[in-house]
Amino acid sequence: MSVAAEVQLPAPWRIVARQIENATGDVFSWTLEPCGEAGGAAFRPGQFNMLYAYGLGEVPISIAGVEPGALRHTLRAVGGVTRALARLEAGEVIGLRGPYGSAWPLEAAQGGDLVIVAGGLGLAPLRQAIVQALAQRERYGRVCILYGTRTPADVLYGGELAAWAARRDVEFAITVDRASAGWGGEVGVVTRLVARASFDPERTTALVCGPEIMMRFTAEALLKRGVPQASIHLSLERNMKCAVGYCGHCQLGPHFICRDGPVLPWPRLAGLLEVPEL
């Protein structure tokens, strides 16, 4: 199949719900339902869609949730397209094409320990993986969810975090870079949590998403604990435009993140994240 044949036209999806996800109010989630016959493709945790603001352009957004007949996407208004999308309310229609990209290796991780490390908005691409793993909790050994963000006001999915932390079959830890009044939890980078987490390195699969520098140091912390390189998986976010590896905007070394990723094992990334401006 040619690249041109692989490129989809955006299908219409309706916003049926909108929810603010953090105290600062700059991160929100949509629940989307397909209009008409759209939405027949199977979505897997870790993949992304291209969301289209009619007349302005489209942006790649990870799939934060999969529900019967609906999808959940979490966005931050940081650019022209996402600011336009942020102004839309429930009932309005956007364009969507996808899903694209590789998924988290949840099936391959079964039978061993699962360590999930998120930084900032990187929790969104991991959310559905967490939901699925906890729904199938008996298929995994220890499950550790480690989350770091800038300030308490930037914490995402507060209600869900509390529910995960309350589970006796999950090790949950959260830290912030800068504390504010009323914060009684950890302060420091998320990699400090890796050193203290309870898991068996030799039988662990690690899923990591966040800023690139955070992921690099997290991978190094996991390697120091003895987690095999091939068992560490990162989700990268680059300037994806076409989603099929045609335009080259998202190239990282030999990889096109939209086509080869966004989820890639550490051996394919080792050294690349250390190169300035690559």
Q: pLDDT tens digit string along 138-172?
A: 999 999 999 999 999 999 999 999 999 999 999 99
Instruction: Provide the pairing of β-strand 255-256 with 57-67.
Output: unpaired
Answer yes or no: are the C-beta atoms of 130 and 221 closer than 8 Å. Answer: no
Question: Is the predicted pLDDT of residue 121 greater than 90, yes or no?
Answer: yes
This prediction's pTM: 0.93
Answer yes or no: are the C-beta atoms of 28 and 157 closer than 8 Å. Answer: no
Residue 277, CA atoms < 13 Å, CB-side half-sphere: 0
Across residues 224-229, what is the average pLDDT? 98
Residue 209, CA atoms < 13 Å, CB-side half-sphere: 28
Question: Is the predicted pLDDT of residue 3 greater than 80, yes or no?
Answer: no
State the DSSP code for 107: H
Alpha helices in the chain (DSSP H): 3-6, 80-86, 106-109, 123-135, 158-166, 191-196, 212-225, 257-260
Q: Which domains does the chain have, with CATH numbers?
A: 3-100 (2.40.30.10), 106-273 (3.40.50.80)
Across residues 241-268, what is the average pLDDT? 90
Question: Is the predicted pLDDT of residue 118 greater than 90, yes or no?
Answer: yes
C-alpha span between 93 and 95 (Å, rounded) = 7
